[in-house]
Structure 1
């Protein structure tokens, strides 16, 4: 399941931008190349899964809006062969920061059936030596 589809990208960024970024034929066809979009989207999915796999059960049953938005920002950045606009670069950086926050548990995803991974050993653990304070061990001090 792809987090951001070609339709999602077209809705957010416009069809003309997708045609410009994906029509890489010798003679331009004026159409969106679905294979180029799919390759960028699958790379984005792998990146997002890498951030989420330690905290959530994958694959997700449904894509939350936050993950879709992050996937759109990362995929459109990946589709650029040359220098993207400043807005695209800023959205990409912000998406990676947000993914890092999701991975650390600062931002949580509201999805039914997705549970955070439980890390063993939470809490404080103190180990100290025995303190045998008896009359025999205090001989000479009392």
Structure 2
């Protein structure tokens, strides 16, 4: 299951950019190569799965919108390849997406995966047991 599809990339970045990034046959670019887009989206999905699998069972019941955006940003970076300048908005969006995924993996950010949060084990109370105190205020009276 992919988190983004070709139409998500078109909606976010425009058809012209996708033509320029994927059409490796025609000059000037005239079509969007579905194979190239599919490879980038699959690679982005694999990267995302690697991070979120630490906290969530895959596949997710529902795909949160933030994962669609994250997958689109990562796929766009992959489509740019070595042409992505380190100071470009494409690289900045990729770095931000990966940083967010690291926070998800650490548990700092939670995904709304459409499920209900599990109840805490044991009702959430801490139970302890210890022997009675040897020294009390009454036993030390007069010292």
- Whether 2:76 is the aligned partner of 1:76: answer yes
**TM-score of the superposed pair, with normalisation by structure 1:** 0.77
Pick closer, same or farther for the CA change 1:114–1:20 going to 2, 3 Å: farther
Structure 1 gaps of 5+ residues are: 117-132, 134-142
| Shift, 1:115, TM fit | 6.4
Checking the alignment, whether the CA contact within 8 Å between 1:57 and 1:114 is kept in structure 2 is: no
Supply the RMSD in Å over aligned alpha carbons.
Answer: 3.1
Pick closer, same or farther for the CA change 1:84–1:114 going to 2, 3 Å: farther
- Whether 2:57 is the aligned partner of 1:50: answer no
Structure 2 gaps of 5+ residues are: 119-133, 135-143
Alignment of 1:9-88 (within 5 A): 9-25=9-25, 27-28=26-27, 30-85=30-85, 86-88=88-90
Pick closer, same or farther for the CA change 1:114–1:39 going to 2, 3 Å: farther
Distance of 1:114 and 1:4 partners within structure 2:
24
What stretches of structure 1 move > 4 A for 4+ residues in a row?
none
Distance of 1:11 and 1:92 partners within structure 2:
18
Distance of 1:81 and 1:91 partners within structure 2:
14
Summarize deviations over 1:100-137 as a string: whole Å, max 9, x none.
Answer: 00111111001223768xxxxxxxxxxxxxxxx9xxxx
Pick closer, same or farther for the CA change 1:15–1:114 going to 2, 3 Å: farther
1:2 corresponds in structure 2 to 2
1:103 corresponds in structure 2 to 105
Distance of 1:82 and 1:96 partners within structure 2:
18
Distance of 1:66 and 1:56 partners within structure 2:
15
Distance of 2:74 and 2:96 partners within structure 1:
10
